[in-house]
Structure 1
Amino acid sequence: MPTLHYRLTLDEPALLTSLYGEPNSSVSYPYVPGATMRGALIGALLRQGKAINPAADPDQRLFFSGATRFLNAYVVDPVKDMRTLPCPLSWVREKHLLTQSESDQALAVYDLVYGRPDGQTKGVRGFATTAGREASLVQVERRLNVHTERPRSGGGEGTVYRYDALERGQSFRGMILCAAEDARELTRLLTGMETVMLGGARSAGYGRATIEDVFLAENDSEPVIDAGPVILTLLSDAILRDADGQVQPSLAALLYVLNLHGSSLSAADVEAYFLDTTIVGGFNRKWNLPLPQSPSLAMGSVLVLRHGTVSQVAAESWLRAGIGERCEDGFGEVAVNWQQESQYRAITIDVMAQPITALLELADSSAVLWDRIQSRRTAQTALLEHAAIFSDQCYRLQGDLTRSGLARLRQSIADELRKEGPSMSVISNFLKDIKGKHADRKYSEARIDGKPLKEWLDEQQPAATEPVRRVLKRIDAVLENAQKASKRRGAR
């Protein structure tokens, strides 16, 4: 089955809200859900003016039937440049032993599938990659921000709330399992989206990410059913229904769903299991409504089945189609016999570390792709440096224009910069919107370096080959600098 791979790098913190946290807080998932990328691709099609019909192919096959599965994007191991996987719930370490980040020694991780070690143990959580008896443990970096909502002039009290978001700069790798006839269209959509907006609080500086390293590979890996027991590992949360049609995150419901793929398992076939539950939901931005909440089996859950109870056909069906409901959103991803070792020598990897690069001789097609990636990174670096140069210039802002009044223009520019194709019309549209209002008089009287602010804004037009994005960043940097300079003069 063709598999489309892609890499997401967060340019801003991402708030992919889970159902946990206090009422006045939002806590992000530690990964990018497949439903988020599925919605982003649907949004890209709609912005291109295409009408989507969920009841007919190819739209139904691409996004709604489950034939195409958008798997979760998990954090990248920066050393191996690989997609990590959730740590199995059967992994433990010695309870009172220092973690590898607290000592110079590697950490011994044991798999309870193969027996329990002596002494007290503690579960290992997070994400990992394995190579033989070596394991790399990766923890996602998070950012905690406190925001305030000021009381309005009409009355009421202000609110303090907290965002627990994914830190910017991290990379995540995701996969899309699709039919051969859909691979080209999905590749076109992904490669055409240089930037994508993810999650909530987008107008507050959250959610912008870059899509890169998109490539198509044939997923020809087959589950190995050898002489030992069959170990099933959940690589994502699974929403299961039992024989009565009720959502049940239980062993009985898991066996029932597995049997829908051609097996005939019973409780007597289970040698061991390590299960945990969680609550999953979601949000539909089209309806602006939350999705129904469902109890589910948590990622990392492990089921050990006796040898001879699972056929090759059933195991391949679990891998290809997933198990349970909402498989198109990344739920129900499984691995068969991934856990092959009883003990691992584990090291903790800094997720923000740079990958180790080696000198390789690339094929012609790969060399072209690498040059394109390097050119894009060089252009982005030059853009940031260009904005920094202008932000260092000392512009004076004179007049009664308040900080909040100037912030409205800067917010409009920031919203425009998050679009795939920003336009200079954001400046003229803003000035039209405030015409005849109190803010219009403030902008008319304000001067920047002795020149009327409106006139200065009209003069900021891109040169023949200058990108619009660069000009908007320059305007925003100058306004920010002038705003800070005005604040310092007011303090004196």
Structure 2
Amino acid sequence: MKRWWLEITLKSDLCAATGDSEQAVTNMKTALEHGLPIIPAKRLKGCLLNEGKEIVSNGFAAQSELADLFGRPGASHPARLHIGDAHIYRIPGFLLGKERADGDVVFENYEKELRELIRHPELSEDLAERLLTRLRTRTAIDKELKTAQKTTLRTMQVVPRGIVFRSLLELSDAQGQTPPQLLKWCVKALRHVGLGITRGYGEVSCTLTEYVAHEQDAAKDSGIPKDFPGENAMEYEIELQNPVLFSGSRGLYEDCCDYIPGSAIMGALAAMYIADHGLGADAHRDEAFSRIFLRDGVRFGNGFLKAAAGGRDRTFYPAPAFLALEKRGEGRLINRLNGDDEKKRRKELSGQTAFDWGDGKVYLADVEKEVRLHHQRPKDRGIGHAVNDLIQAGAVDMGQFFSYMCISGGQRFSGVIRGNAGDLRELAACLEKRDWNLRLGRSRTAEYGNARIRLFPAGSGQQEAISDRWVLWLLSPMVFVGEGCPGETPEQEHLERQIRNRLGCSVEIRDTILKYTRIGGYNGKWNLPLPQHIALAPGSVICIKTGEKLCASQLEAEFWGDMAGRGCGQVKALPWEEIPESMKNYHKIAVDSREAVEKDELAAQGILVSELEAYRERENQREAQRREAMSIQASLPSAVTIEQLIALMEGHEEYSYTELKREIDMIRDEQKKLKTQEFLKPCEGKTHEFIYFYLLNSKWSARGEAAGNGKQRK
């Protein structure tokens, strides 16, 4: 895999609109990340692809080259080219209020700068927006009246010209160090991005430069343990660098699941394994591949939300069915395994839960999700935007608007992978070769799916619970293929038989609170849907009594039921003794998905943080000077004289009290000169900012006095 930087220099103001607006302030907002402007990767890919189509139309390249580089709809394999979001790389000094000698500000490591900014919550997103974006207004002209049409005023948020963005381009199976000729042509031809390109906005200049890797922070905190524990398992933690798309129960466009499916992790690692071992289309014939990925030799558990709660990191799982909210108890939790609570009116508990048995607390959290808007241009490239709302009879390929529901980037998820220690080392080697990066979900070639993974020994340092009565809390669907219909006993008998055979002790199911779901999927290799199966839904609870006392790890180490390789059948074993009869306390926390993992790490303050702090200080000083200037009352000269002084201050940024007094001394009318000098005396020794606000405040006061005198004369 080869990498290059795509550097984008703004020759004019740019608006990479997302479809968002801010009521009564902005009709069209540009794309932002924690207040910092970005150019989304999907927009860049669409612009580059459009230039590629022009090149193909003019006979300089073949259609197959373009499809190989950017991909084609419905293909079984992804495009070779992966495009990342374009982030700020260089900011001209004049935008930051710097003198010419100070030069531009360059961010060599954007991710590090962003992490440092997140560690300073006092530097709000609004502060970064005010520094790095501007507002532009426009209207439409009435053809008859030659004046502005009513209700046509629009305000657009733009990124000012001069800023340089940088996007990482990755090309799989690249044969040389230089980028393909078609890619170079597309980059060179790209001249406009975003909205209003026919009205002076979005002019850019693009170049490809060599990629130089930075020292990765993950080098010291990512890796695989040299010696796996006897359980042959490893825990993983995935941090999402981008939003991730997983289809939810209502489909891709309306819903997204609130965990990372084990099948998605399995698919990502399978693709890496095939590429590293050169298996190609015959991967299923390879014994090692078949054992790991096709015969459940390695079980990939789902990834669940990990966030800080109660002073430490906790993993949040789907709410167990035995917990519910009492309808008339002001949010009081009830335990359905308690006979008295089962009779109370209740409603189902949604979201993710984490228990703190010591304090008797249940923490509730929600996975952060977002809706992203996109459009596909018509086949006719002469039409610059989707027009599916204006389709005429018989029109085809007119483009479309669509939206994605996705898991927001910046969140952390943790899970477990179980299997033979040798197989786990093989998988870890695939990740290490790619600097512990992987891509998950759909639309992975642009804007979505980037993630980083860390590996740890499984269950190290945890104290084991021992009991002969357990509550098995399902964390993922449990399916028994061909074992009967929902509500029938064969599936429970199947679970009893599995536990009895694997643990060598008698098992009796005492109680159940079950929910059901349907699971399926899609086979990308054959472009066919997988069989649909009825399964026990996550959150279902099965209470069992074993013939001998067992450890929790003995029950949790197995993935029960069928399709275990895809993460089905994962359970959390809770000793019956630890489940209180009633739970009166719960806390619903607002998870800060962007909380830095390295929160205890002492790091040098980032350049971006320094610039924002300096900007905030300048704003505070400006506000203080404005308030001081507006509080001073003085004898006023004529409004015309004040207007002339304001014009001098606006036309000469270097003017201070001395320069302004020199201009006043040139007034020939002695009475007017003395009155103006007396008026300006409070500005002696003050800054340009103070004098300017003092004059503005005086202008409106003078106008008010003039209006009052006019009324008195009447």
Q: Name the TM-score class by shorter chain.
A: 0.5 to 0.7
Please name the residue that 1:224 is paired with. Answer: 466
**Structure 2 stretches of 5 or more lacking a match?**
1-230, 381-394, 502-506, 612-714
Q: Is the 8 A contact 1:35 1:330 kept in 2?
A: yes
Query: Which amino acid in 1 is paired with 2:257?
Result: Y
Within 5 Å, which residues of 2 pair with 1:393-412? Answer: none
Please name the residue that 1:341 is paired with. Answer: 579
Q: Is the 8 A contact 2:470 2:575 kept in 1?
A: no
Distance of aligned partners of 1:334 and 1:256 in 2 relative to their CA distance in 1, 3 Å threshold: same
Q: Distance in 1 between matches of 2:575 and 2:352?
A: 14
Cα displacement string for residues 24-58 of structure 1 (whole angstroms, at most 9, x for unaligned residues): 82522111001111111111122324327545543
Q: Distance in 1 between matches of 2:520 and 2:365?
A: 25
SS of 1:89's equivalent in the other structure is: coil
Equivalent in 315, 318, 321 of residue 86 of structure 1: 318
Distance of aligned partners of 1:383 and 1:261 in 2 relative to their CA distance in 1, 3 Å threshold: farther
SS of 1:278's equivalent in the other structure is: strand
Q: Distance in 2 between matches of 1:63 and 1:55?
A: 12
Please name the residue that 1:114 is paired with. Answer: 338
Q: Is the 8 A contact 1:223 1:312 kept in 2?
A: no
Distance of aligned partners of 1:58 and 1:93 in 2 relative to their CA distance in 1, 3 Å threshold: same
SS of 1:113's equivalent in the other structure is: coil
Distance of aligned partners of 1:161 and 1:248 in 2 relative to their CA distance in 1, 3 Å threshold: farther
Within 5 Å, which residues of 2 pair with 1:439-450? Answer: none
Q: Is the 8 A contact 2:431 2:437 kept in 1?
A: no
Distance of aligned partners of 1:320 and 1:38 in 2 relative to their CA distance in 1, 3 Å threshold: same
SS of 1:58's equivalent in the other structure is: helix
Q: Once structures 1 and 2 are overlaid, which stretch shifts more, 213-222 or 116-125?
A: 213-222
Quote the offset at 1:14 in angstroms: 0.8
Q: Is the 8 A contact 1:76 1:351 kept in 2?
A: no
Within 5 Å, which residues of 2 pair with 1:246-325? Answer: 246=483, 248-261=485-498, 263=500, 270-305=509-544, 307=545, 309-311=546-548, 318-325=555-562
Q: Is the 8 A contact 2:301 2:570 kept in 1?
A: yes
Equivalent in 37, 41, 60 of residue 290 of structure 2: 60
Q: Once structures 1 and 2 are overlaid, which stretch shifts more, 43-52 or 123-132?
A: 43-52
1:45 and 2:273 correspond: yes
Please name the residue that 1:183 is paired with. Answer: 424
RMSD: 3.6
Q: Distance in 1 between matches of 2:298 and 2:465?
A: 20
Query: Which amino acid in 2 is paired with 1:152?
Result: K
Q: Distance in 1 between matches of 2:552 and 2:523?
A: 33
Q: Distance in 2 between matches of 1:62 and 1:349?
A: 38
Cα displacement string for residues 234-278 of structure 1 (whole angstroms, at most 9, x for unaligned residues): 11111123xxx35634351331221332539xxx95443211111
Equivalent in 415, 420, 423 of residue 174 of structure 1: 415
Q: Is the 8 A contact 1:113 1:304 kept in 2?
A: no
Quote the offset at 1:10 in angstroms: 1.4
1:74 and 2:312 correspond: no
Q: Is the 8 A contact 2:552 2:574 kept in 1?
A: no
Q: Is the 8 A contact 2:234 2:456 kept in 1?
A: yes
Distance of aligned partners of 1:160 and 1:356 in 2 relative to their CA distance in 1, 3 Å threshold: closer
Q: Distance in 1 between matches of 2:598 and 2:570?
A: 31
Quote the offset at 1:383 in angstroms: 11
Please name the residue that 1:237 is paired with. Answer: 477
Q: Distance in 2 between matches of 1:257 and 1:315?
A: 20
Equivalent in 263, 282, 286 of residue 35 of structure 1: 263
**Structure 1 stretches of 5 or more lacking a match?**
99-106, 360-369, 387-492
SS of 1:225's equivalent in the other structure is: strand
Q: Distance in 2 between matches of 1:338 and 1:358?
A: 33
Q: Distance in 1 between matches of 2:565 and 2:243?
A: 25
Please name the residue that 2:237 is paired with. Answer: 7
Q: Distance in 1 between matches of 2:365 and 2:551?
A: 32
Query: Which amino acid in 2 is paired with 1:129?
Result: A
Distance of aligned partners of 1:385 and 1:300 in 2 relative to their CA distance in 1, 3 Å threshold: farther
Cα displacement string for residues 371-413 of structure 1 (whole angstroms, at most 9, x for unaligned residues): 9xx89xx9xx889999xxxxxxxxxxxxxxxxxxxxxxxxxxx
Q: Is the 8 A contact 2:319 2:349 kept in 1?
A: yes
Quote the offset at 1:163 in angstroms: 1.5
Q: Distance in 1 between matches of 2:519 and 2:364?
A: 25
Query: Which amino acid in 1 is paired with 2:536?
Result: L
Cα displacement string for residues 328-384 of structure 1 (whole angstroms, at most 9, x for unaligned residues): 11000122225632333221122225269886xxxxxxxxxx89xx89xx9xx8899
Distance of aligned partners of 1:223 and 1:286 in 2 relative to their CA distance in 1, 3 Å threshold: farther
SS of 2:467's equivalent in the other structure is: coil
Q: Is the 8 A contact 1:238 1:298 kept in 2?
A: yes
Distance of aligned partners of 1:325 and 1:385 in 2 relative to their CA distance in 1, 3 Å threshold: farther
Distance of aligned partners of 1:357 and 1:115 in 2 relative to their CA distance in 1, 3 Å threshold: farther
Q: Once structures 1 and 2 are overlaid, which stretch shifts more, 255-264 or 275-284?
A: 255-264
Q: Distance in 1 between matches of 2:440 and 2:596?
A: 24
Cα displacement string for residues 290-334 of structure 1 (whole angstroms, at most 9, x for unaligned residues): 3222221100101223x4x55557987653332221101100012
Aligned length in residues: 349
Q: Distance in 1 between matches of 2:597 and 2:557?
A: 32
Q: Is the 8 A contact 2:431 2:438 kept in 1?
A: no
Please name the residue that 2:392 is paired with. Answer: none
Please name the residue that 2:379 is paired with. Answer: 152
SS of 2:247's equivalent in the other structure is: coil
Q: Distance in 2 between matches of 1:280 and 1:19?
A: 9
Q: Distance in 2 between matches of 1:313 and 1:53?
A: 40
Distance of aligned partners of 1:41 and 1:109 in 2 relative to their CA distance in 1, 3 Å threshold: same
Quote the offset at 1:281 in angstroms: 1.8
SS of 2:402's equivalent in the other structure is: strand
Quote the offset at 1:96 in angstroms: 4.6
Distance of aligned partners of 1:121 and 1:215 in 2 relative to their CA distance in 1, 3 Å threshold: same
1:352 and 2:592 correspond: yes
Q: Distance in 1 between matches of 2:608 and 2:286?
A: 43
Quote the offset at 1:74 in angstroms: 0.5
Query: Which amino acid in 1 is paired with 2:589?
Result: I
Q: Is the 8 A contact 1:198 1:209 kept in 2?
A: yes
Query: Which amino acid in 2 is paired with 1:128?
Result: T
Please name the residue that 1:389 is paired with. Answer: none
Q: Radius of gyration: which is bigger? A: 2
Distance of aligned partners of 1:278 and 1:221 in 2 relative to their CA distance in 1, 3 Å threshold: farther
Distance of aligned partners of 1:163 and 1:313 in 2 relative to their CA distance in 1, 3 Å threshold: same
Query: Which amino acid in 2 is paired with 1:274?
Result: I
Please name the residue that 1:126 is paired with. Answer: 351
Q: Distance in 2 between matches of 1:218 and 1:346?
A: 26
Q: Is the 8 A contact 1:32 1:172 kept in 2?
A: yes
1:197 and 2:439 correspond: yes
Q: Is the 8 A contact 2:416 2:458 kept in 1?
A: no
Q: Distance in 2 between matches of 1:179 and 1:313?
A: 23
Quote the offset at 1:231 in angstroms: 1.7
Equivalent in 388, 400, 406 of residue 165 of structure 1: 406
Q: Distance in 2 between matches of 1:69 and 1:261?
A: 17
1:328 and 2:568 correspond: no
Query: Which amino acid in 1 is paired with 2:592?
Result: M
For normalisation by structure 1, the TM-score amounts to 0.62
Q: Distance in 2 between matches of 1:356 and 1:384?
A: 18
Query: Which amino acid in 2 is paired with 1:124?
Result: L
For normalisation by structure 2, the TM-score amounts to 0.44
Percent identity at matched positions? 26
Quote the offset at 1:2 in angstroms: 2.5
Quote the offset at 1:62 in angstroms: 2.4
Q: Distance in 1 between matches of 2:489 and 2:524?
A: 34
